[in-house]
Amino acid sequence: MATSKKRRGIGSYVASGDYSDYWSTAISKAERGNILVRGYPIEEIIEHLSFVEMTHLVIRGELPSETDARVLEAALKSAADQQLINSAACAARYTASASPETVIPALASGILASGTVTGSPQQCAEMLTAAFEYGCAAPAVAKRWLKSPGYIPGLGHPIHTDVEPRAAALRALVEAAGAWGPACELLDELRAFMERERDRKLPVNLAGMIACVMTDRGWHPLEVGGLGVLSYGPALVAHAVEEIQSGVPLRIIPEELGARYTGPAPRNLPSRFQRQR
């Protein structure tokens, strides 16, 4: 990722009165009848680049190598869908059931439900990046992350307890492309270390695999986190459309599906609150 400029606070603009660079972008330039994206004419991008190549250019600022494109394409395909084992899909469908006029609110809900425990690879990428910055080996990395937040991001899955099939497929392609690098090795070492410590299988999950392979390709953790949303985007569209077309309007959680009240037994307000209206 291109180095970012030093950020200025709003106070410095107010003090100087100079707002000449208040809104600026290095991503694209648009004038009457002319659009440049990272310096390239949009017409050339539309005619010659694949979607993956365009995505790499827009996010990273430069055209990808063949290996970059191959790894990115695999990462984007790997999160196609996994039934309803993802709170992002459930959030999207809930919103679609209440707002069936368009899929856009549902997509927003699904994106907002993509966090550290629902498939985002950003936290794992941050862990790997920090480990390399400070020269930490697997045991030291594990110790730090087990202290806070209390787990190793990128490991384990509630359903795929032996092998995460998507992560395994992505790993095989990355290895075949000769792109298995030090971040991937470190996460694999963390997996082996934690399996010995916990005496059980802890496979690398898809978020972890995307994090390590894209970290090795030079992606910043913020970019990696965004990639996680992009990879699941088609599934969110599909779930939202399916919910609108054939789902249940205004979904609820009835008692038969697990809703339980755990509050106090029925009671009346104390007499001092029994006011006449």
Digit-coded pLDDT (tens) for 68-109: 999 999 999 999 888 888 889 999 999 999 999 999 999 999
Mean of all residue pLDDT scores within the chain:
93
| pLDDT score of 244 more than 70 | yes
Cβ-based neighbours of 41, under 8 Å, separated by 6 or more: 34, 35
pLDDT at 5: 63
Q: How many domains does the chain have?
A: 1
Domain contains 273: no
Please give the model's pTM, rounded to 2 decimal places: 0.90
The string of pLDDT tens digits covering residues 203-229 is 999 999 999 999 999 999 999 999 999
pLDDT at 1: 41
Domain contains 245: no
Indicate the DSSP class of residue 180.
-
Domain contains 20: no
Domain contains 268: no
Boundaries of domain holding 143: 122-226
| pLDDT score of 16 more than 80 | yes
Q: Contact 197/51 with Cβ under 8 angstroms?
A: no
pLDDT at 274: 87
Domain contains 94: no
List the CATH number of the domain containing 128. Answer: 1.10.230
The string of pLDDT tens digits covering residues 105-125 is 999 999 999 888 787 899 999
Q: How far is CA 221 from CA 78, 210, 237, 264, in A?
A: 18, 11, 25, 45
Domain contains 81: no
pLDDT at 21: 87
Q: Which residue has the tokens 């001092």?
A: 272
Domain contains 191: yes
> Pick the residue with more confidence: 117 or 172?
172
Domain contains 80: no
Q: Cα–Cα–Cα angle for 222, 164, 66, nearest 5°?
A: 55
Dmax over Cα atoms in the chain, in whole Å? 78
The share of the chain scoring above pLDDT 90, in percent, equals 82
